């Protein structure tokens, strides 16, 4: 690590100290108790790395959103914390939550959605952003409920893509990356019938 890197890191940590390290620690512990990650130390390390970079609030929001699966109760809390972290300009996330209904500028939300949709096909990501812009219209402000809807849309699109990829891989038996349409349909039907048999056998036990 050269002297420039060290200097940059020290400046970031100094900024974090000026903003109130105690507040960051309080917020981090609150999120830690909500998420209950497998490796708490690794979670805190990643959290503080994002929190120590005030020029990248979208990175911290992205991390909070991704830290808890949508299926767990902590997801909604993390989503709100991420929203509040984007609103804050000074101090802790908890302080920002007092004005959670003020809304966020569209450009701020777009930066988060771009991170969330980075693994999606370009057309899908662009369509999601276009829907956000149409939904907001001239008000140029995104409220929490709108933020939550679009975050979940990005996550659902990612989950759908992963499921489709797994299905295609299961049909691509020779691993060529190409499956003729008729073979794809035939193999999907075979997988469906196999899954139905498995469910039937499980229910008989």
What are the start-end ranges of the E strands in the chain? 104-105, 141-142
Evaluate the CA torsion angle 120, 142, 78, 57 in order and state its sign: positive
| Cross-strand bridge partners of residue 142 | 104
Helix (H, G, I), strand (E, B) or coil at 113: helix
Local confidence pLDDT in tens for the 205 residues of the chain? 566 666 776 676 666 565 556 666 777 777 777 767 767 777 777 777 776 676 778 888 888 888 888 888 888 888 888 888 787 643 444 444 444 457 888 888 888 999 999 899 999 999 988 888 888 877 888 889 899 999 999 999 999 999 999 999 999 988 888 999 999 999 999 888 888 888 776 666 6
Structural contact between residues 114 and 92, judged by C-beta atoms closer than 8 angstroms = no
Report the candidate in 62, 114, 104 with the shortest Cα–Cα distance to residue 84.
104
The stretches of 68-143 forming alpha helices (DSSP H) are 74-87, 93-96, 106-116, 122-136
What's the token pair of residue 119?
A: 């693994």
């Amino acid at each position: 690590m050269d002297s420039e890197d060290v200097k940059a890191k020290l400046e970031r940590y100094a900024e974090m100290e000026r903003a109130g390290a105690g507040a960051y620690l309080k917020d981090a512990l609150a999120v830690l108790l909500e998420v209950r990650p497998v490796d708490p130390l690794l979670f805190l390390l990643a959290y503080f790395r994002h929190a120590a970079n005030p020029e990248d609030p979208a990175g911290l929001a992205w991390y909070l959103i991704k830290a808890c699966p949508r299926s767990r109760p902590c997801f909604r809390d993390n989503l709100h914390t991420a929203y509040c972290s984007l609103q804050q300009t000074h101090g802790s996330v908890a302080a920002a939550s007092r004005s959670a209904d003020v809304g966020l500028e569209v450009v701020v939300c777009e930066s988060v959605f771009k991170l969330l949709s980075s693994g999606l096909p370009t057309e899908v990501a662009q369509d999601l952003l276009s829907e956000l812009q149409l939904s907001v219209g001239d008000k140029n402000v995104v409220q929490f409920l709108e933020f939550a809807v679009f975050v979940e849309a990005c996550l659902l699109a990612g989950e759908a893509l992963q499921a489709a990829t797994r299905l295609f891989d299961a049909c691509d038996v020779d691993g060529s990356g190409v499956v003729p349409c008729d073979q794809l349909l035939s193999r999907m039907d075979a997988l469906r019938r196999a899954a139905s048999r498995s469910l039937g056998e499980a229910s008989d036990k």
